[in-house]
Amino acid sequence: YRYFPRQRELLAAAHPETGATSLLPENPPADVAERLDAVVTQFTRMILETEAQQRTMLRLSLEQTVEERRSLPLRQGRAIMWIAEALSPLQGKMTETGIHRLVLAIRSATGIESLVWLTDIAGLSREEAVASQRWTASALLQQALQQGPPPGA
């Protein structure tokens, strides 16, 4: 902790992926379902590789005020941007609001929060949990394509 006065700074330095602007492969597929699966696969892999730190950030975020939460390095909402990029082929086919609602629904089913619930509460292995997260993301996309995006408040 000589170089990192607080745990927050240490975690930020330990996670260069916090600077990633995309999780799509170099030559991303055109198909929206393939794009989404590529991003969710990469995102869940990243979460598994940094699970202890992700859990710490989740715990810290629960102990902080809204303003303090915004400064946590692993709680910046980057996944929303990554998922939105994966769903960019939907622009013009769905409203921006509809796409955003879909992005939020997918994110709610694919992050550390759902991994914690699936493993700690439901008793799934990490591999089973990730498979469930990928399936859920795909199912949400298919539902949105067939029936429209998730409803708003």
Summarize pLDDT for 84-112 with one digit per residue, the tens.
999 999 999 999 999 999 999 999 999 99
Which pLDDT does position 147 carry in this prediction? 95
- At 2 the three-state DSSP class reads coil
**Residue 43 CB-density burial (10 A; 0-12 exposed, 13-18 middle, 19+ buried):** buried
Predicted model pTM: 0.82
In angstroms, the CA 19 to CA 24 distance is 14
64 phi and psi, to 5 degrees? -105, 165
Q: What is the DSSP letter of 88?
A: G
Instruction: With a cut of 70, list the residues of the chain below it in pLDDT.
Output: 1-2, 6-20, 66, 68-76, 153
**Residue 138 CB-density burial (10 A; 0-12 exposed, 13-18 middle, 19+ buried):** middle
